[in-house]
């Protein structure tokens, strides 16, 4: 079973390898095999092998960037140099007999083992990519550092500190939009450090973030096909960040939505402000329902402030990008985990939010879903593992708290709303995180690509219907399916 899982992991991870990275690995593994198997190796052949290997590594470094996971591959490049050095000092001798054959077999075995490790390392920890967006638009993006002068920052000790939020907007761009694709994280260092501390794992495991690029082009011209585009706000979960659902955001934007991601400062993994300051995740009492109900108020206020800023941009954008292009009459919201709870609260409490999706978020917050439902379009997405999580928690007190919280789902589908339960899925699968390694995905027991496509298809169908008045394509197919169950109230 473990061998089968590892083999599948390596195969799927290979799909993430970058083209020059893959070419460099192939050339150097072939070079290693030739160095071991060839009985005679002329100086000219060695120099040619060295040149080809070095050129492949050089182009990979220039075009894609070098990373520590490829070090075993890079080291193969220097083997011809070592052999040439030895040959220049010692006269090569032809060796025959049983001893030389044993040494040859041993060398071949070690080379094979080394080759397996060299290839597996960049595959198990790949520079992951996002599926090409399916819609008719390219993607532009811009980031803002906004300060709410009306609110004091409660997570800092300095008197007079105001609430400061990093906000990223992704928007439809013309198909011919040109420019360099944006990094997944503009400054990946703090996130690698943050994940390392949170998960108690080596920081090196998370350095691949710095090489990951998206399909978005910074400051691209906004598409002119529509006079204005519906707006969707995205709220991450505790210790998440505004980019954590890029797999979903890019697909929605490509279909004609403007998506606004919010970093909830001090509750996100890290918020990197425009001047380089970093606001780190502050530990909070995430085991207390009372604390989380109250903490959600701060997130709701964050969203309300961002909505106000968007209204200002729609009226007058100093850069002229969004003036008149944000359709503030068609605003929806979606969020993961605590951000999903925030989306639900905003739907209940703010008339500007016309429809919302909660992705696996327990319904924390001051207001409860009333009997009869929300009276506004709502879709709850749940992982089947999450609905059973209380049964796996050894701490009985904590398990009972989770069970009590899950009862808040009782009326979510009332009044004609929807509840989508995805099979073989867990809480983290609703974000990009498992893309960091196919091995982690396999250990979690989920099929991430399939789950992400279900999330994307149903998110698009939901918002297309309730914000663009398009006919339903999927949400009208209520019932049990092989990969999910769809309920309607």
Q: What are the DSSP calls for 89-145, one per residue? A: HS------SHHHHHHHHHHHHHHHHHHHHHHHHHHHS----PPPP-SS-EEEEEEEE
Host H or E run for residue 338 = helix 338-349
Which residue has 């207001």 as its token pair?
367
Unique residue bearing structure tokens 């090409």: 132
Buried b (16+ CB within 10 A) or exposed e, 91-101: eeeeeeeeeee
With b for 16 or more beta-carbon neighbours within 10 A and e for fewer, the 199-232 pattern comes to eeeeeebbbbbbbbebbbbeebebbeeeebbbbb
pLDDT at position 478: 95
Instruction: Please give the radius of gyration of the chain, using alpha carbons only, rounded to the nearest integer.
Output: 26
C-alpha distance from residue 335 to each of 33, 192, 211, 229 (Å): 50, 23, 26, 20
Angle (CA) 117-434-214 rounded to 5° is: 95
Q: Where along the chain do its domains lie?
A: 17-124, 138-488
CA 306 to chain centre: 22
pLDDT value of residue 15: 44
Q: Which pLDDT score, from 0 to 100, does residue 1 have?
A: 39
Residue 390 pLDDT: 78
The structure tokens 């009972």 sit at 400
Q: For tokens 């089947």, what's the residue?
A: 384
- pTM score above 0.85: yes
How much is the pLDDT for 87?
58
Residue 427 per-residue DSSP state: G
**Burial of 408 from C-beta contacts in 10 A (0-12 / 13-18 / 19+):** middle
Longest dimension (CA), the chain: 90
> Tens place of pLDDT for every residue, the chain, 489 residues?
333 444 444 334 444 567 888 888 889 888 888 887 777 778 888 888 889 989 999 988 888 889 989 999 998 888 877 776 665 555 555 555 555 677 777 777 877 888 888 888 888 899 999 999 999 999 999 999 999 999 999 999 888 899 999 999 999 998 888 888 999 999 999 999 999 999 999 999 999 999 999 999 999 999 999 999 999 999 999 999 999 999 999 999 999 999 999 999 999 999 999 999 999 999 999 889 999 999 999 999 999 999 999 999 999 999 999 999 999 999 999 999 999 999 999 999 999 999 999 999 999 999 999 999 999 999 999 999 999 987 888 888 888 888 999 999 999 999 999 999 999 999 999 999 999 998 888 888 899 999 999 999 999 999 999 999 999 999 999 999 999 999 999
How far, in Å, are 36, 138, 257, 338 from residue 214 at the CA level? Answer: 40, 11, 17, 25
CATH number of 138-488: 3.40.50.1820
Q: Which residues are within 8 A (CB) of 473 and not within 5 positions of it... i.e. 6 or more apart?
A: 461, 464
The angle at the Cα of 251, spanning 268 to 177, to the nearest 5 degrees, equals 100
pLDDT at position 137 is 96
Q: How far is CA 213 from CA 210, 247, 372, 410, in A?
A: 8, 12, 44, 40
Place of tokens 């501390």: 197
3-class SS of residue 61: helix
d(CA 270, CA 385): 28
CA angle at 69 for the pair 68 and 74, rounded to the nearest 5°: 75
Q: Do residues 207 and 67 lie in contact, with contact meaning Cβ atoms separated by under 8 Å? A: yes
């Amino acid at each position: 079973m473990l061998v089968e899982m590892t083999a599948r992991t390596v195969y799927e991870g290979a799909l993430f390898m970058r083209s020059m990275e893959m070419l460099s690995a192939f050339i150097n593994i072939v070079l290693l095999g030739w160095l071991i198997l060839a009985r005679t190796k002329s100086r000219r052949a060695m120099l040619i092998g060295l040149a080809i290997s070095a050129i492949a590594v050089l182009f990979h470094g220039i075009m894609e960037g070098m990373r520590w996971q490829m070090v075993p591959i890079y080291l193969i490049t220097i083997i011809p140099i070592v052999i040439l050095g030895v040959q220049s000092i010692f006269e090569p001798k032809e060796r025959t007999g049983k001893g030389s054959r044993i040494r040859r077999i041993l060398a071949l075995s070690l080379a094979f083992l080394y080759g397996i490790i060299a290839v597996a390392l960049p595959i198990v920890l790949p520079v992951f990519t996002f599926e090409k967006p399916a819609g008719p638009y390219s993607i532009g993006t811009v980031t803002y550092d906004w300060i709410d002068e009306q609110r004091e920052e409660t997570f800092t000790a300095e008197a007079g500190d105001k609430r400061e939020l990093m906000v990223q907007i992704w928007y439809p761009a013309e198909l011919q939009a040109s420019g360099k694709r944006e990094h997944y994280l503009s400054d990946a260092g703090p996130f690698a450090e943050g994940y390392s501390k949170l998960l108690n794992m080596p920081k090196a495991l998370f350095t691949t973030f710095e090489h990951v690029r998206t399909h978005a082009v910074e400051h691209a011209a906004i598409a002119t096909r529509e006079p204005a585009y519906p707006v969707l706000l995205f709220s991450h979960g505790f210790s998440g960040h505004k980019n954590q659902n890029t797999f979903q955001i890019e697909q929605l934007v490509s279909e004609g939505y403007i998506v606004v991601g919010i970093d909830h400062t001090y509750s996100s993994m890290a918020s990197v402000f425009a001047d380089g300051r970093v606001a780190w995740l502050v530990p909070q009492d995430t085991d207390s329902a009372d604390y989380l109900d109250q903490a959600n108020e701060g997130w709701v206020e964050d969203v309300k402030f961002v909505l106000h800023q968007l209204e200002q941009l729609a009226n007058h954008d100093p850069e002229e990008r969004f003036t008149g292009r944000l359709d503030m009459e068609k605003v929806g919201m979606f969020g993961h985990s605590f951000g999903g709870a925030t989306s639900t609260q905003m739907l209940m409490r703010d008339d500007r939010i016309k429809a919302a999706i909660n992705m696996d978020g327990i319904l924390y917050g001051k207001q409860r879903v009333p009997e009869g439902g929300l009276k506004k379009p709502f879709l709850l997405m749940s992982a089947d593992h999450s609905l059973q999580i209380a049964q796996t928690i050894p701490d009985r007190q904590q398990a009972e708290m989770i069970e009590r919280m899950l009862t808040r789902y009782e009326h979510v589908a009332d009044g004609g709303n929807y509840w989508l339960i995805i099979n073989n899925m867990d809480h983290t699968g609703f974000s990009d995180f498992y893309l960091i390694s196919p091995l982690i995905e396999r250990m979690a027991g989920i099929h991430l690509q399939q789950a992400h496509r279900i999330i994307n298809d149903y998110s698009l169908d939901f918002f297309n219907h309730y914000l663009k008045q398009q006919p339903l394509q999927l949400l009208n197919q209520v019932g049990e399916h092989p990969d999910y169950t769809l309920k309607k109230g």
